Structure 1
Amino acid sequence: MAEWLDETEQATWRSFLRMHANLMTAVGERLQADSGMSLPDFEVLAMLSEAPDAELRERDLCFELQWEESRLAHHVRRLEERGLLQRDGHVDGGQSPMISLTEAGRAAVDAAAPAHVARVRELFFDVLSPGQVQVMGDAAAAVLENVAGVTDTDDKA
């Protein structure tokens, strides 16, 4: 049986969950108000804008976003209908399709990014000291490495 969290661990875990939920809500609401774009829209477009040639294979985009294939497929379809990206469905050799940013998609993410970054800075980085930022980054990296190791072990079982 698993050992229960002590009071400090429980309080830290609950605070982390509330922080994440409140931060994502506040960032998403402002992004929607400023640009008419949802946070998931921005995540997809930003990921593509940072990729070489502004395109990624669908499976790689799924991996980077940590989304299920069906969620990405539906979201890609909606963004494609809005002219913000395109999906090359004609792929040889069984590889997943390429998804690329259109000019309209590039313009949308470029227009939304400055206010988005300002909001992230306002709500997150401006309240942390440089030392806290370093500790937060180190802690996140350690947890992500641990999760990846546990997930890799689980996948092999």
Structure 2
Amino acid sequence: MDKSELNKEELRLWYMWKGSFHSIFGRVIKEMSEHTGLSEGDYGILDRLDLLGDGSLRQQELAESMDWDKSRLSHHLTRMEKRKLVMRKPLDTDRGVQVIITTVGKSALDDARPIVSKAIRKHFLDQLTDQDIESITKLAERTKNRG
């Protein structure tokens, strides 16, 4: 077998890993959405505005932090503006746009954070042994800067 091809066991491991992540992540997002009405994208944007920008970021910085293209982010921000979660303001100094979390958005984020934390604990952290945590930490550190 060619070294570039995966054998059945390697494929099984990959799909188990990927499936576990998607399953856990999906449960966390589902609980958050059911309790807050926020989507995964809404939460990601609000969270980054708060944590990375202390309430505001240039739209380009926000797009890069989310690994979204400008068009996708722009469409999503338009929907969020209609719900009064964020506002956009052109920058005077250049062609950039500042995205600002509103009081409605900050309140929604503050309501969502404990729900997200509880869901992460329930669906992920409470399932781990000390050895699991050590292994996941080592794997994350080893693979963090590769790619």
**Higher deviation after alignment, 131-140 or 46-55:** 131-140
Q: Which has the higher helix share?
A: 1
Identity %: 24
| Aligned residue runs from structure 1 range 96-107, under 5 A | 96-107=96-107
Q: Which runs of 5+ in 1 are unaligned?
A: 148-157
Matched, 1:139 2:128: no
Q: State the alpha-carbon separation in 1 of the partners of residues 92 and 134 from structure 2.
A: 43
Q: State the alpha-carbon separation in 2 of the partners of residues 58 and 80 from structure 1.
A: 13
Stretches of 4+ aligned residues off by more than 3 angstroms? none
SS in 2 for 1:51: helix
Matched, 1:54 2:34: no
Q: State the alpha-carbon separation in 1 of the partners of residues 83 and 137 from structure 2.
A: 35
- Whose RCO is larger (CA < 8 A, sep 6+)? 2
Q: State the alpha-carbon separation in 1 of the partners of residues 142 and 60 from structure 2.
A: 25
| Aligned residue runs from structure 1 range 81-100, under 5 A | 81-94=82-95, 96-100=96-100
Give the aligned partner of residue 43 of structure 1. Answer: 44
Q: Which runs of 5+ in 2 are unaligned?
A: none
Q: State the alpha-carbon separation in 2 of the partners of residues 77 and 130 from structure 1.
A: 44
Give the aligned partner of residue 119 of structure 2. Answer: 119
Call closer, same or farther: CA 1:42–1:5 in 2, change over 3 Å: same
Q: State the alpha-carbon separation in 2 of the partners of residues 58 and 73 from structure 1.
A: 8
Call closer, same or farther: CA 1:101–1:144 in 2, change over 3 Å: same
Q: How many residues align?
A: 146
How far is 1:108 from its partner?
0.5
